[in-house]
Amino acid sequence: MAFPESLKTLQAELIDARRRYEDVLRVTADREVATLFLEMVEHRMRAERQIREILGAAGADDEAPGSFLSFVQRAVANMRASVAGTGLESLPAFVNDEAQILLAYNNAIDECKPYRAITDVLESQRAALIGMIVKMDHTRFEETEPRGGTAVESLH
């Protein structure tokens, strides 16, 4: 079975994002951010494992090291952390980064439609990610602004 390239692209995006969260976890002193980012790392690890299993079962090369741009993106994330901090004020940038991953999920789901079992896994992962994004966004607003419109309301 040949898999769409979008599935491997999604896998690379997940690996890259996990590494960015791990980088910030090494330097943040904010417990709330650390808790959220640990959850994101756990989500990524589960999703990566499931995609690796799907690719492996199909005989595809399931060893995705992440993307070449990962090094650049991690450097930017580290610079952002040193300038803007790693507290709640950093969450909007991470919420925005997650939009790219949602697009990668959408592409993979669209291209894998003939394989219902695979799209079920991807849709479940995507729903969990949306829940995490909402949690991240609401945490930021609970601490900094009165409840109201948030950046992720359009996800629903």
The most confident of 55-59, 71-75, 121-125, by mean pLDDT? 121-125
Average pLDDT over residues 141-151: 48
Distance between CA atoms of residues 90 and 81, nearest Å: 7
**Average pLDDT, whole number, for the chain?**
78
CB 84 within 8 A of CB 27: no
Q: Domain of 142?
A: 5-155
DSSP classification of residue 145 = S
CATH number for position 141: 1.20.1260
Which phi-psi region, left, alpha or beta, contains residue 150 (left: φ > 0; alpha: ψ -120 to 50)?
beta
Q: When comparing pLDDT for 57 and 51, which is higher?
A: 51
Domains: count for the chain: 1
Q: Encode pLDDT of 93-142 as tens digits.
A: 788 889 899 999 999 999 999 999 999 999 999 999 999 999 888 776 55
| pLDDT at residue 143 is higher than 50 | yes
Residue 48 confidence class, pLDDT cut points 50, 70, 90: very high
Helix, strand, coil in percent for the chain, rounding step 5: 80, 0, 20
CB 125 within 8 A of CB 102: no
Q: Please report, rounded to a whole number, the percentage of residues in the chain having pLDDT higher than 70.
A: 68
Q: Please report, rounded to a whole number, the percentage of residues in the chain having pLDDT higher than 90.
A: 38
| pLDDT at residue 37 is higher than 70 | yes
